[in-house]
Chain A
Amino acid sequence: DGGITQSPKYLFRKEGQNVTLSCEQNLNHDAMYWYRQDPGQGLRLIYYSQIVNDFQKGDIAEGYSVSREKKESFPLTVTSAQKNPTAFYLCASSMKSNLNQPQHFGDGTRLSIL
């Protein structure tokens, strides 16, 4: 079945450590997105990519980095500069980066600080 796979499901970070969240899709979608979700809040856009080898900052990009070397992969690195990384992270993709395309989401990664 086609879909989006995020791994790991749970991740723990030590102080000063960078961690990378994986996102893979086999839907042949062009656009991919990373969101952060905090308790009782909506989704806030971290980074998005419309095409391979290109990505743009979202609303809360500070302390995060991404790469898009392959169409199916869009890993997110939470760097030590992100002082409050504890949250639920969701990866999404859409067929095209047009405003009328719904997004398909992964199951999410829950990141906590040790």
Chain B
Amino acid sequence: AQKVTQAQTEISVVEKEDVTLDCVYETRDTTYYLFWYKQPPSGELVFLIRRNSFDEQNEISGRYSWNFQKSTSSFNFTITASQVVDSAVYFCALSEGRTNAGKSTFGDGTTLTVKP
């Protein structure tokens, strides 16, 4: 069975600090995808990034970066020079299996608060 663990329930930082959100996953499949979503106070989840199980290259997008390590089953998310607008709940998700119909398993989320 697939499982996603986000051990950090809440994180609070001061603006301009760097912060890393952890995500650890479990799967028996060799083919799977990992996602990060952001849920601002308005409620809707916004897709941030997708990574497939065969691509361990790290990715950087502006102040966001992602570190995917299959050896430790982790897909961590770092925000550099955090801003107040980064305050949100962040979810890591896993989709596995070629016939899994696009279903994703979500972690419980990490609530990030960035204080001015």
Measured between beta carbons, the chain A residues less than 8 angstroms from B71 are none
Report the bound CA distance from A48 to B97 in whole Å: 16
Report the bound CA distance from A43 to B50 in whole Å: 18
B45 near A40 with CB under 8 A, answer no
Question: Which of chain A's residues has its CB closest to B96's CB?
Answer: A99
Stretch of A11-19, A62-70, A77-85, A103-111 lying at the B interface: A103-111
On chain A, which size bracket covers the interface? 20 to 34
A108 near B44 with CB under 8 A, answer yes
- Pick the residue among B91, B102, B107, B108 that contacts A99 (CB under 8 A): B102
Assuming the contacts A40-B108, A42-B108, A43-B91, asked whether A99 and B47 have C-beta atoms less than 8 A apart, the reply is: no
B44 near A105 with CB under 8 A, answer yes
A42 near B91 with CB under 8 A, answer yes
Measured between beta carbons, the chain B residues less than 8 angstroms from A108 are 43-44
Question: Which of chain B's residues has its CB closest to A96's CB?
Answer: B102
Measured between beta carbons, the chain B residues less than 8 angstroms from A33 are 103
B47 near A31 with CB under 8 A, answer no
B103 near A48 with CB under 8 A, answer yes
Report the bound CA distance from A8 to B107 in whole Å: 26
Report the bound CA distance from A41 to B97 in whole Å: 24
Q: Is A94 an interface residue when CB atoms closer than 8 A count as contact?
A: yes
Q: Is B95 an interface residue when CB atoms closer than 8 A count as contact?
A: yes
- The smallest beta-carbon distance between B92 and chain A, in angstroms, is 9
Q: Is A25 an interface residue when CB atoms closer than 8 A count as contact?
A: no
Report the bound CA distance from A110 to B106 in whole Å: 19
Assuming the contacts A40-B9, A42-B91, A42-B109, asked whether A102 and B47 have C-beta atoms less than 8 A apart, the reply is: yes
Report the bound CA distance from A108 to B41 in whole Å: 11
Report the bound CA distance from A105 to B97 in whole Å: 22
Measured between beta carbons, the chain A residues less than 8 angstroms from B107 are 42
Having A48-B103, A99-B102, one finds 11 other A-B pairs with CB under 8 Å, namely A31-B102, A41-B108, A48-B101, A50-B102, A58-B103, A90-B44, A99-B32, A99-B97, A99-B98, A103-B102, A108-B44
- In the A-B complex, the 4 residue pairs with the smallest Cβ-Cβ separation, listed nearest first, are A99-B95, A42-B106, A102-B47, A97-B102
